């Protein structure tokens, strides 16, 4: 099984992510996240992290761990965790390709992707795997990995879990910078992770 076939098996329909979605819906039901709920989620993530390399669980664990580092979930952290879990608990269609085409600044229509000697930069959380795995898959097809958004970047790949609230996320600046260069007429292309993975099958 090649790396890109694996992409289709690492999606939100797998049992572990289904459980996380259900858990998230329960935690946000009252519109807030308290200390006990955050600690419960943290415990669940630790247990599931041991048997999983799913990037969503890995990244969420890192986020919650950072929030609880001082053993206090303050109001700002509570609000941020609520927003994250609201994203996680969204319906599958909200995270799919069709939704992205209307809410994210990807190129329309989605262009063919050439890998050989073209530069790629990934942002957001990918279902394919960790950032390192995405980079390795790209390099195996002849692509180059960029360290930041520059005028020479060919493709900015948005991870599947990037949502329409991207402007408020830590990776938002990368997307904004790529959009600025693209608007200035530079040939930088913004694509979805799904489009990148499908192109890799060719």
Burial of 66 (0-12, 13-18, 19+ CB in 10 A): exposed
Q: What is the pLDDT of residue 140?
A: 95
Q: Would you say residue 19 has pLDDT above 80?
A: yes
Mean pLDDT value across the chain: 81
Q: What is the pLDDT of residue 95?
A: 41
Q: What is the pLDDT of residue 182?
A: 94
Q: What is the pLDDT of residue 99?
A: 40
CATH of span 98-199: 3.40.50.10190
């Amino acid at each position: 099984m090649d790396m890109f076939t694996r992409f289709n098996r690492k999606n939100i329909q797998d049992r572990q992510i289904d459980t996380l979605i259900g858990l998230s819906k329960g935690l946000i039901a009252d519109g807030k996240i308290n200390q006990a709920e955050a600690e419960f989620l943290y415990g669940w993530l630790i247990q599931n992290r041991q048997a999983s390399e799913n990037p969503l669980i890995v990244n969420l664990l890192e986020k919650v761990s950072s929030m609880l580092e001082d053993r206090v979930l303050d109001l700002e952290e509570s609000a941020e965790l609520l927003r994250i879990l609201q994203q996680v608990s969204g319906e599958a269609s909200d995270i799919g390709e069709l939704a992205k085409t209307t809410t994210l600044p990807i190129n329309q229509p989605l262009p063919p992707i050439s890998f050989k000697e073209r530069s790629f930069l990934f942002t957001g959380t990918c279902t394919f795997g960790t950032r390192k795995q995405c980079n390795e898959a790209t390099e195996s097809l002849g692509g180059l990995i960029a360290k930041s958004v520059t005028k020479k970047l060919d493709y900015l790949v948005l991870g599947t879990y990037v949502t329409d609230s991207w402007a408020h996320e830590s990776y938002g600046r990368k997307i904004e910078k790529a959009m600025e260069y693209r608007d200035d007429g530079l040939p930088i292309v913004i694509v979805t992770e799904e489009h990148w993975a499908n192109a890799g099958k060719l």
